[in-house]
Structure 1
Amino acid sequence: MRRPSVFVAKDPEKEFRYGSRNWLLHARYVRGEHAMCLDLADDLQKNADNTHRYAHYVKGLVYADAGRHQEALERFHSCIRLQPSDPEPLKQVAKSLSCQGRYQLSLEAYLEADKLTKHPDSDIYCALAECASNLGQIERGVEWARAAVHAGGGERAGALLARLLLASGDAVGASAAYDQAIATHACGADTLAAAGALRLRAGAPREAFQLLGAALAQQPSQHAAALALAAMMLQHRDLDAALARLKAALSAHPTCVAAHSNLGLALLAKKKYVAALTCLQRAVWSAPLSARAAHNLGLALLLCRRPASAFCRLATAAALQPRQPYTVLLIGIALERLGDARADAAYARAAALAPGDALVRLNRAGRLARARAGRAVGEARAVAEILQREEKPDAQLSSSLATLLALLRDAGVQLSDLPNHLPRADTPDDLPEDDMTADEV
């Protein structure tokens, strides 16, 4: 009996000439061979009289990856015309519309795709939540994100729900959503860092430290976790560890404004004035419309005894954020050092913006004591009352208040109407010195 001949082809395309080559089209797309993928798709379209649905679909994916969203939309619409009941091309149409910023049309396309799916699709629900959020419909986005979580959306749906809840002002619900996502899924470094930062703002430093440490252990270049840990270390005066974290964050993202600003503040605390001014100036250059960056640079310039330059930066910060009392207070200090009579108005404005802030009122009391001692008694009384209402009064503010009262007594001012029980004035051991030491090169 004669054996059947075996066809052996050197070219794999010739080997599958008489069968489907969708597998080859898919393989070339996932391998990133986009040029060869487009050539093969054109060949398949010629053989199928431009009715090869999968070739249209893959060409649309290639165009979308290249940022050619309008051409991608044409390919996906061709798929929809060939088979209107398939939701996948409609999902890609909605995704391309979202990339173009046409969120309302994208939302409608996702809703149509949801009608065509036989089972709940968590990807569609997540995309609907993001579109609703971009349109300013936060509450509606929360509902879609909850639907995505119930549909098994995993970490993406849980993190999205937490972000939308936080945007709506529900910090407790956002924290619970992060807890559920972390407990039920193996979350990535971004989710862990976001959860840790939220715990830090909520006043739970121990849990925040664990989450942020887990994020950095999983991804050492996660700059959000590094920034949050550095902020914790700065609060606990661990400057060397904070500097190490901030440098790691800057190595991952050299243009991060928050990292430059916090690094400048850490160097300022270590009295490295030249390096601190350099970092803070870089932060201002990177974000010229950031009120916080301008405020920090103005503070550093004041500490370096450059009140004129500090006033320019602080005026910029106040123009960007007029209701920040500490910026207005620093403007008053700069004007006083420049001998400008408008300093009194700046101090009064800062006290009006924050009437319950002991630091602001104490600085105004000092200004009044230096200008006209008799008028400082009222501000000193207000500072004493504010400190008495606090459970743990700030030791440095209490010490400064005691020093001010002693100076007023020496000046002959009557202090009989002050409260009988003033806060304890224990001077902390780590108060900064006034002299400026030499900077390291």
Structure 2
Amino acid sequence: MRRPSVFVAKDPEKEFRYGSRNWLLHARYVRGEHAMCLDLADDLQKKADNTHRYAHYVKGLVYADAGRHQEALERFHSCIRLQPSDPEPLKQVAKSLSCQGRYQLSLEAYLEADKLTKHPDSDIYCALAECASNLGQIERGVEWARAAVQAGGGERAGALLARLLLASGDAVGASAAYDQAIATHACGADTLAAAGALRLRAGAPREAFQLLGAALAQQPSQHAAALALAAMMLQHRDLDAALARLKAALSAHPTCVAAHSNLGLALLAKKKYVAALTCLQRAVWSAPLSARAAHNLGLALLLCRRPASAFCRLATAAALQPRQPYTVLLIGIALERLGDARADAAYARAAALAPGAALVRVNRAARLARAGLAGRAAEEARAVAEILQGEEKPDAQLSSSLATLLALLRDAGVQLSDLPDHLPRGDTPDDLPEDDMTADEV
């Protein structure tokens, strides 16, 4: 709830003589007694011939809180007509315009309010940055957010600057802005969770864990922090701890698509297939246009040996996100299990979308070998070997699959003399998460 500003009376002697009731108007507004507040404001307007500025102002705040922004604009404009040099009603006009989605007019109103203020106002600068961001002017929004930070905007300005820098593609600058905000202010759980998620994407899990833990310690129902921690635990195969975090996230946000999807993947990894399918289906119901949710459900259906249902879900995911190679690869697997001749085209399309993905290429090589095209399968196997040799930590499961495929090709009489003498072995499979069960991005 917004705290109404204190107005200076136009005639202090007259106010003292008849007794000002602005304090009672203010008290009723901040206590949420809006009906009594409106009655008192109408009474004051009758006594002052509709020239009581503070009554106009508080009525505008009440209307704005109720979502009646057009009526609120009329009250604030009455305040401006009575005293044009006061920036507070103009700021409320700009805020109501922003709530109506009229961002250009809101931006202009905030600029006029900035001209009337005697000192830099961080609230105005933050609002200008948000309006510029909504208008697609990210760089201009970053400039206003920096001005808000310099004007002492506190946590709000720092978090806003970080979000806008991240939207502009400057992840390093966004991380630095979060660090400065956390170091100089007592930040809330939302800011800590956003900073932790950014650190997790940047590949700093230790710092991300500290920030996310601090966010949950401050607000245990902070679902974004719980989701990010669950994603970290899924990557490290700590399924029980991930399930606990995901259940906490769902209790705070029951319609969260990422929580349902990650919970389904965790249950799938524990081989609880019915519960996993239920969670993934809920994710699809909550977000029918989410390609990731449809992809995960298609993967689960494939693992449950339901290729026809899996194909339907994967086709939906591919329609929503056509250039996702792993979705196209799963479509090829589903079509092959259904005995459809279009599987070869799906494998080729996946390899064309991700020519450097060893998982896609080794699956295509296996498909060619099963189709009796041993020569083309050998070419794909050579490409997979080169890709794995170029990786610092090759996947052990892919290396094992490649070795098995090469052994079968040699038994079939295929010449593989130009392959490397020593294929990469990678780490032990137990130390690595499965690629096809990666958690949703938070």
**SS, match of residue 429 in structure 1:** helix
1:8 shift after superposition: 28
1:417 shift after superposition: 2.0
1:164 shift after superposition: 0.1
From the superposition, tell whether residues 438 and 376 of structure 1 become closer, same or farther in structure 2 (CA, over 3 Å).
Answer: closer
1:98 shift after superposition: 0.2
1:148 shift after superposition: 0.1
What CA distance in whole angstroms lies between the structure 2 residues aligned with 1:3 and 1:158? 22
What CA distance in whole angstroms lies between the structure 2 residues aligned with 1:103 and 1:210? 37
From the superposition, tell whether residues 271 and 148 of structure 1 become closer, same or farther in structure 2 (CA, over 3 Å).
Answer: same
From the superposition, tell whether residues 276 and 147 of structure 1 become closer, same or farther in structure 2 (CA, over 3 Å).
Answer: same
What CA distance in whole angstroms lies between the structure 2 residues aligned with 1:343 and 1:295? 17
Q: C-alpha offsets along residues 116-171 of structure 1, whole Å, 9 cap, x if unaligned?
A: 00000000000000000000000000000000000000000000000000000000
**SS, match of residue 432 in structure 2:** coil
Q: C-alpha offsets along residues 324-378 of structure 1, whole Å, 9 cap, x if unaligned?
A: 000000000000000011000000000000000111111111111111x222001
Report if aligned partners of 1:76, 1:92 keep a CA contact under 8 Å in 2. Answer: yes
Larger Rg: 1
1:409 shift after superposition: 1.4
**SS, match of residue 355 in structure 1:** coil
From the superposition, tell whether residues 325 and 345 of structure 1 become closer, same or farther in structure 2 (CA, over 3 Å).
Answer: same
What CA distance in whole angstroms lies between the structure 2 residues aligned with 1:204 and 1:2? 38
From the superposition, tell whether residues 14 and 230 of structure 1 become closer, same or farther in structure 2 (CA, over 3 Å).
Answer: farther
Report if aligned partners of 2:79, 2:89 keep a CA contact under 8 Å in 1. Answer: yes
From the superposition, tell whether residues 440 and 268 of structure 1 become closer, same or farther in structure 2 (CA, over 3 Å).
Answer: farther
What CA distance in whole angstroms lies between the structure 1 residues aligned with 2:249 and 2:231? 12
What CA distance in whole angstroms lies between the structure 2 residues aligned with 1:343 and 1:2? 60
1:17 shift after superposition: 9.2
What CA distance in whole angstroms lies between the structure 2 residues aligned with 1:322 and 1:292? 12
Q: C-alpha offsets along residues 357-404 of structure 1, whole Å, 9 cap, x if unaligned?
A: 111111111111111x22200110000000000111111111111111
From the superposition, tell whether residues 110 and 412 of structure 1 become closer, same or farther in structure 2 (CA, over 3 Å).
Answer: same
**Structure 2 unaligned regions, length at least 5:** none
Report if aligned partners of 2:263, 2:276 keep a CA contact under 8 Å in 1. Answer: yes
Relative contact order, CA 8 A, sep 6+: which one is greater? 2
TM-score relative to the length of structure 1: 0.93
Query: Hey, what does 2:409 align to over in structure 1?
Result: 408
1:415 shift after superposition: 1.1
From the superposition, tell whether residues 437 and 376 of structure 1 become closer, same or farther in structure 2 (CA, over 3 Å).
Answer: closer
Report if aligned partners of 2:193, 2:211 keep a CA contact under 8 Å in 1. Answer: yes
Report if aligned partners of 1:399, 1:425 keep a CA contact under 8 Å in 2. Answer: no
Identical aligned pairs, as a percentage?
98
**SS, match of residue 349 in structure 2:** helix
What CA distance in whole angstroms lies between the structure 1 residues aligned with 2:42 and 2:81? 18
What CA distance in whole angstroms lies between the structure 2 residues aligned with 1:102 and 1:7? 28
Q: C-alpha offsets along residues 82-103 of structure 1, whole Å, 9 cap, x if unaligned?
A: 0000000000000000000000
Query: Hey, what does 2:439 align to over in structure 1?
Result: 438
Q: C-alpha offsets along residues 151-207 of structure 1, whole Å, 9 cap, x if unaligned?
A: 000000000000000000000000000000000000000000000000000000000
From the superposition, tell whether residues 2 and 225 of structure 1 become closer, same or farther in structure 2 (CA, over 3 Å).
Answer: closer
What CA distance in whole angstroms lies between the structure 2 residues aligned with 1:313 and 1:4? 53
Q: C-alpha offsets along residues 250-282 of structure 1, whole Å, 9 cap, x if unaligned?
A: 000000000000000000000000000000000
1:13 shift after superposition: 19
**SS, match of residue 435 in structure 1:** helix
From the superposition, tell whether residues 13 and 170 of structure 1 become closer, same or farther in structure 2 (CA, over 3 Å).
Answer: same
What CA distance in whole angstroms lies between the structure 1 residues aligned with 2:91 and 2:277? 50
1:419 shift after superposition: 2.1
From the superposition, tell whether residues 129 and 343 of structure 1 become closer, same or farther in structure 2 (CA, over 3 Å).
Answer: same
Report if aligned partners of 2:122, 2:153 keep a CA contact under 8 Å in 1. Answer: yes
1:436 shift after superposition: 16
Which shifted more, 5-14 or 360-369?
5-14
Which shifted more, 409-418 or 337-346?
409-418
**Structure 1 unaligned regions, length at least 5:** none
1:7 shift after superposition: 28
1:424 shift after superposition: 1.9
Query: Hey, what does 1:224 align to over in structure 2?
Result: 224
Report if aligned partners of 2:395, 2:427 keep a CA contact under 8 Å in 1. Answer: no
What CA distance in whole angstroms lies between the structure 1 residues aligned with 2:235 and 2:295? 19
Q: C-alpha offsets along residues 60-94 of structure 1, whole Å, 9 cap, x if unaligned?
A: 00000000000000000000000000000000000
From the superposition, tell whether residues 393 and 20 of structure 1 become closer, same or farther in structure 2 (CA, over 3 Å).
Answer: same
Q: C-alpha offsets along residues 297-344 of structure 1, whole Å, 9 cap, x if unaligned?
A: 000000000000000000000000000000000000000000011000
**SS, match of residue 437 in structure 2:** coil
Report if aligned partners of 2:188, 2:218 keep a CA contact under 8 Å in 1. Answer: yes
What CA distance in whole angstroms lies between the structure 2 residues aligned with 1:8 and 1:198? 46
From the superposition, tell whether residues 2 and 252 of structure 1 become closer, same or farther in structure 2 (CA, over 3 Å).
Answer: closer
Report if aligned partners of 1:272, 1:440 keep a CA contact under 8 Å in 2. Answer: no
Are 2:287 and 1:277 equivalent residues in the alignment?
no
From the superposition, tell whether residues 354 and 119 of structure 1 become closer, same or farther in structure 2 (CA, over 3 Å).
Answer: same
From the superposition, tell whether residues 393 and 77 of structure 1 become closer, same or farther in structure 2 (CA, over 3 Å).
Answer: same
Report if aligned partners of 1:381, 1:418 keep a CA contact under 8 Å in 2. Answer: yes
Tell me the C-alpha RMSD between the 2 structures: 6.6
From the superposition, tell whether residues 38 and 14 of structure 1 become closer, same or farther in structure 2 (CA, over 3 Å).
Answer: farther
